[in-house]
Amino acid sequence: MEGPDGSGKTTQIEMLKTYLESKGYDIVITREPGGTVISEAIRAIILNKEYQEMSHMTELLLYASARAQLVNQVIKPALAEGKAVICDRFVESSAVYQGIGRGLGVSTVYEVNNYALGDVKPKLTIFMDLDADEGIRRKENQTELDRMEMEDLSFHKRVVEGYRQLAQLYPDRIFPVDATLPIEKIHSIIVEEVEKRFFS
Protein backbone atom coordinates (compact mmCIF):
# COMPACT_ATOMS: atom_id res chain seq x y z
CA MET A 1 0.00 0.00 0.00
CA GLU A 2 1.62 3.20 -1.21
CA GLY A 3 0.79 6.88 -1.20
CA PRO A 4 1.72 10.24 0.27
CA ASP A 5 1.38 10.99 3.98
CA GLY A 6 -2.25 11.46 4.98
CA SER A 7 -3.67 9.37 2.12
CA GLY A 8 -5.39 6.83 4.37
CA LYS A 9 -3.10 3.82 3.86
CA THR A 10 -3.39 2.57 7.43
CA THR A 11 -7.19 2.50 7.36
CA GLN A 12 -7.30 0.64 4.06
CA ILE A 13 -4.65 -1.85 5.18
CA GLU A 14 -6.77 -2.80 8.19
CA MET A 15 -9.88 -3.18 6.04
CA LEU A 16 -8.00 -5.26 3.46
CA LYS A 17 -6.61 -7.45 6.26
CA THR A 18 -10.15 -8.16 7.51
CA TYR A 19 -11.30 -8.99 3.98
CA LEU A 20 -8.38 -11.37 3.32
CA GLU A 21 -8.87 -13.06 6.68
CA SER A 22 -12.47 -13.73 5.64
CA LYS A 23 -11.00 -15.56 2.62
CA GLY A 24 -9.03 -17.79 4.99
CA TYR A 25 -5.61 -16.14 4.80
CA ASP A 26 -3.18 -15.58 7.64
CA ILE A 27 -2.06 -11.97 7.25
CA VAL A 28 1.24 -10.34 8.08
CA ILE A 29 1.34 -6.53 8.05
CA THR A 30 4.66 -4.75 7.79
CA ARG A 31 5.61 -1.08 7.82
CA GLU A 32 8.50 0.74 6.21
CA PRO A 33 10.96 1.63 7.34
CA GLY A 34 10.67 -0.80 10.24
CA GLY A 35 9.11 -4.15 11.03
CA THR A 36 12.15 -5.75 12.71
CA VAL A 37 14.33 -4.68 15.63
CA ILE A 38 17.15 -3.70 13.25
CA SER A 39 14.83 -1.99 10.75
CA GLU A 40 13.14 0.00 13.52
CA ALA A 41 16.57 1.17 14.73
CA ILE A 42 17.34 2.32 11.17
CA ARG A 43 13.92 4.02 11.03
CA ALA A 44 14.82 6.04 14.14
CA ILE A 45 17.93 7.34 12.35
CA ILE A 46 16.16 8.10 9.04
CA LEU A 47 13.26 10.01 10.58
CA ASN A 48 15.20 11.85 13.30
CA LYS A 49 14.67 15.54 12.57
CA GLU A 50 18.01 16.33 14.23
CA TYR A 51 19.83 14.70 11.29
CA GLN A 52 19.23 17.41 8.70
CA GLU A 53 22.75 16.93 7.30
CA MET A 54 21.94 13.40 6.07
CA SER A 55 22.95 13.04 2.41
CA HIS A 56 20.37 11.82 -0.09
CA MET A 57 22.42 8.71 -0.90
CA THR A 58 22.80 7.86 2.79
CA GLU A 59 19.01 8.14 3.11
CA LEU A 60 18.49 5.82 0.12
CA LEU A 61 20.92 3.21 1.44
CA LEU A 62 19.43 3.31 4.93
CA TYR A 63 15.94 2.68 3.52
CA ALA A 64 17.32 -0.19 1.41
CA SER A 65 19.10 -1.65 4.46
CA ALA A 66 15.93 -1.56 6.56
CA ARG A 67 14.05 -3.16 3.64
CA ALA A 68 16.64 -5.92 3.19
CA GLN A 69 16.31 -6.90 6.85
CA LEU A 70 12.50 -6.85 6.66
CA VAL A 71 12.47 -8.99 3.51
CA ASN A 72 14.81 -11.60 4.93
CA GLN A 73 13.52 -11.72 8.49
CA VAL A 74 9.77 -11.26 8.01
CA ILE A 75 8.45 -11.24 4.43
CA LYS A 76 10.26 -14.27 2.97
CA PRO A 77 9.44 -16.55 5.93
CA ALA A 78 5.79 -15.42 5.88
CA LEU A 79 5.44 -16.14 2.16
CA ALA A 80 7.14 -19.52 2.61
CA GLU A 81 4.45 -20.37 5.18
CA GLY A 82 1.70 -19.44 2.70
CA LYS A 83 0.72 -16.23 4.44
CA ALA A 84 -0.38 -13.04 2.69
CA VAL A 85 1.79 -9.99 3.33
CA ILE A 86 0.49 -6.42 3.24
CA CYS A 87 3.25 -3.80 3.30
CA ASP A 88 2.65 -0.26 4.49
CA ARG A 89 5.08 1.21 1.93
CA PHE A 90 7.71 -0.74 0.00
CA VAL A 91 10.18 -0.11 -2.82
CA GLU A 92 7.97 2.39 -4.69
CA SER A 93 8.26 4.74 -1.71
CA SER A 94 12.01 4.89 -2.26
CA ALA A 95 11.49 5.33 -6.01
CA VAL A 96 9.42 8.47 -5.44
CA TYR A 97 10.86 9.92 -2.22
CA GLN A 98 14.54 9.36 -2.99
CA GLY A 99 14.45 8.77 -6.76
CA ILE A 100 12.18 11.68 -7.69
CA GLY A 101 11.81 13.79 -4.53
CA ARG A 102 15.57 13.78 -3.84
CA GLY A 103 16.55 13.65 -7.52
CA LEU A 104 18.64 10.45 -7.31
CA GLY A 105 16.78 8.86 -10.23
CA VAL A 106 14.24 6.04 -10.25
CA SER A 107 16.61 3.64 -12.04
CA THR A 108 19.26 4.18 -9.34
CA VAL A 109 16.74 3.40 -6.62
CA TYR A 110 15.54 0.21 -8.29
CA GLU A 111 19.13 -0.90 -8.94
CA VAL A 112 20.11 -0.44 -5.29
CA ASN A 113 16.94 -2.13 -4.07
CA ASN A 114 17.38 -5.17 -6.31
CA TYR A 115 20.04 -6.23 -3.82
CA ALA A 116 17.71 -5.55 -0.89
CA LEU A 117 14.73 -7.41 -2.36
CA GLY A 118 16.36 -10.41 -3.99
CA ASP A 119 13.56 -12.38 -5.62
CA VAL A 120 10.76 -10.81 -3.52
CA LYS A 121 8.51 -8.57 -5.62
CA PRO A 122 5.01 -7.33 -4.76
CA LYS A 123 2.22 -8.96 -6.76
CA LEU A 124 0.12 -5.79 -6.49
CA THR A 125 0.89 -2.24 -5.39
CA ILE A 126 -2.13 -0.12 -4.44
CA PHE A 127 -1.40 3.59 -4.78
CA MET A 128 -3.59 5.88 -2.67
CA ASP A 129 -3.64 8.97 -4.90
CA LEU A 130 -3.98 12.24 -2.99
CA ASP A 131 -2.77 15.77 -3.76
CA ALA A 132 0.14 16.86 -1.57
CA ASP A 133 -1.77 19.91 -0.26
CA GLU A 134 -4.61 17.72 1.02
CA GLY A 135 -2.20 15.17 2.52
CA ILE A 136 -0.42 17.90 4.47
CA ARG A 137 -3.75 19.37 5.60
CA ARG A 138 -4.78 15.95 6.95
CA LYS A 139 -1.50 15.71 8.89
CA GLU A 140 -1.84 19.19 10.44
CA ASN A 141 -3.42 17.84 13.60
CA GLN A 142 -0.47 15.53 14.21
CA THR A 143 1.50 16.72 17.22
CA GLU A 144 4.99 16.22 15.84
CA LEU A 145 6.31 15.76 12.31
CA ASP A 146 9.32 13.57 11.49
CA ARG A 147 12.27 14.53 9.26
CA MET A 148 10.54 13.44 6.03
CA GLU A 149 7.18 15.01 6.90
CA MET A 150 8.93 18.33 7.62
CA GLU A 151 10.00 18.73 3.98
CA ASP A 152 8.45 21.66 2.11
CA LEU A 153 5.35 21.46 -0.06
CA SER A 154 7.34 21.35 -3.32
CA PHE A 155 9.05 18.13 -2.17
CA HIS A 156 5.72 16.50 -1.32
CA LYS A 157 4.29 17.60 -4.67
CA ARG A 158 7.22 15.92 -6.47
CA VAL A 159 6.51 12.76 -4.49
CA VAL A 160 2.83 12.67 -5.51
CA GLU A 161 3.68 13.36 -9.16
CA GLY A 162 6.32 10.63 -8.93
CA TYR A 163 3.73 8.12 -7.77
CA ARG A 164 1.46 9.12 -10.65
CA GLN A 165 4.30 8.70 -13.14
CA LEU A 166 5.09 5.22 -11.81
CA ALA A 167 1.41 4.23 -11.98
CA GLN A 168 1.39 5.22 -15.67
CA LEU A 169 4.69 3.44 -16.37
CA TYR A 170 3.76 0.19 -14.60
CA PRO A 171 -0.04 -0.22 -14.86
CA ASP A 172 0.35 -4.00 -14.68
CA ARG A 173 1.50 -3.84 -11.05
CA ILE A 174 0.57 -0.39 -9.70
CA PHE A 175 -3.15 0.25 -9.19
CA PRO A 176 -4.13 3.88 -8.40
CA VAL A 177 -7.15 4.66 -6.24
CA ASP A 178 -8.64 8.13 -5.67
CA ALA A 179 -7.96 8.70 -1.95
CA THR A 180 -10.54 11.51 -1.75
CA LEU A 181 -13.39 9.00 -2.13
CA PRO A 182 -15.33 7.79 0.94
CA ILE A 183 -13.47 5.14 2.95
CA GLU A 184 -15.95 2.33 2.17
CA LYS A 185 -15.90 3.16 -1.54
CA ILE A 186 -12.09 3.01 -1.61
CA HIS A 187 -12.23 -0.36 0.15
CA SER A 188 -14.73 -1.75 -2.37
CA ILE A 189 -12.53 -0.62 -5.29
CA ILE A 190 -9.50 -2.29 -3.70
CA VAL A 191 -11.42 -5.50 -3.02
CA GLU A 192 -12.67 -5.58 -6.61
CA GLU A 193 -9.10 -5.30 -7.91
CA VAL A 194 -7.80 -7.94 -5.48
CA GLU A 195 -10.65 -10.29 -6.48
CA LYS A 196 -9.84 -9.78 -10.16
CA ARG A 197 -6.10 -10.36 -9.73
CA PHE A 198 -6.04 -13.19 -7.21
CA PHE A 199 -9.41 -14.94 -7.05
CA SER A 200 -10.94 -14.83 -10.52
pLDDT score recorded for residue 64 = 98
pLDDT score recorded for residue 144 = 81
pLDDT along the chain (200 residues), means of 10: 94 98 97 97 96 97 98 98 98 97 97 96 97 85 80 93 97 97 98 95
DSSP symbols for 15-61:
HHHHHHHHTT--EEEEESS-SSHHHHHHHHHHH-TT-TT--HHHHHH
Q: What are the angstrom distances between the C-alpha of 34 and each of 40, 80, 170? A: 4, 21, 26
* CB 173, CB 125: distance < 8 Å: yes
Domain ranges of the chain: 9-194
pLDDT score recorded for residue 120 = 96
CATH superfamily of 9-194: P-loop containing nucleotide triphosphate hydrolases (3.40.50.300)
pLDDT score recorded for residue 84 = 97
